[in-house]
Structure 1
Amino acid sequence: MTPEEAGDYLESLPRVKRKGTESRPAWYVDDRLVARLSDASTLVVRVPLDRREALLRKHPDSFGVPPRMEAHHKVEAYLDRAEAPAVRRAIDLAWEMQAR
């Protein structure tokens, strides 16, 4: 999945708006972060903590949680090797959590 494909998917969701900068775009629903691109191949996605472990177990090559994010509702999606349906699922979880 490319960053552009991820952005297109994010922007297809209701009420999602792109903010941030050209090099570090971020997508929000009602001013609540859904995802942001941290570099050319890493998308940080907000996900509920109770769903994060299952996502990591099912797709260990697609996602990771660096130590600095362990206490947060976040997961890194490695776009250069991630399965596109898995990334879309993580984005959906983030959108559901933030669109409440």
Structure 2
Amino acid sequence: MTLDEVGRYAESLLHVKRKGTQSRPAWYVHDRLVVRLQDPNTVVIRVPLSERESLLERFPDSFGVPPRMEAHHKVEAYLDRAQPQAVRTAIDLAWEMQRH
């Protein structure tokens, strides 16, 4: 999956807007983070902690949680190997959580 595909999908969701910078874009709903570029191959997606383990189990090659993120509602998605449907699922979870 490419960053452009991530952005197009995020922006297809109601009220999601691109923010951030040119070099580090991010997408927000109601000023709450949905997804942002971490590095050229990694995006950070905000997901409910209650759903995070399930995502990691279902898509182990797509996501990871580095130690610095363990206490946060976030996963990293590795764009060079992530299944597009996995990333879309995580973005949907972030959008649902953040839009309220």
- TM class, shorter-chain normalised? over 0.9
Residue 9 of structure 1 aligns to a residue whose secondary structure is helix
**Identity of paired residues, percent?**
73
| Partner AA of 1:79 in structure 2 | L
Residue 18 of structure 1 corresponds to: 18
Q: Which consecutive aligned stretches of 4+ in structure 1 deviate over 6 angstroms post-superposition? A: none
Cα deviation, residue 86, structure 1: 0.4
CA RMSD of superposed structures (Å): 0.4
Deviations 1:2-33 (A, max 9, x none): 00000110011100010001110010000001
1:85 — aligned with what?
A: 85
TM-score by length of 1: 0.99
Tell me the TM-score normalised to structure 2 length.
0.99
Paired residues, number: 100
Quote the Cα distance in structure 1 between the aligned partners of 2:2 and 2:35: 14
How far did 1:39 drift? 1.1
Q: Does 1:64 align with 2:67?
A: no
Amino acid aligned to 1:97: M
CA distance in 2, matches of 1:49, 1:43: 17
The residue that corresponds to 2:33 in the other structure is 33
Distance 2:23 2:2 in 1: 14
SS in 2 for 1:71: coil
Counterpart-to-counterpart distance in 2, 1:24 and 1:8: 15
Give 2:83's aligned amino acid: E
Q: C-alpha separation between the residues in 2 aligned to 1:60 and 1:28?
A: 25
The structural deviation recorded for 1:44 is 0.1
**Structure 1 unpaired stretches of 5+:** none
Aligned AA for 1:39?
A: D
Asked if residue 7 in structure 1 is aligned to residue 7 in structure 2, the reply is: yes
AA matched with 1:94 = A
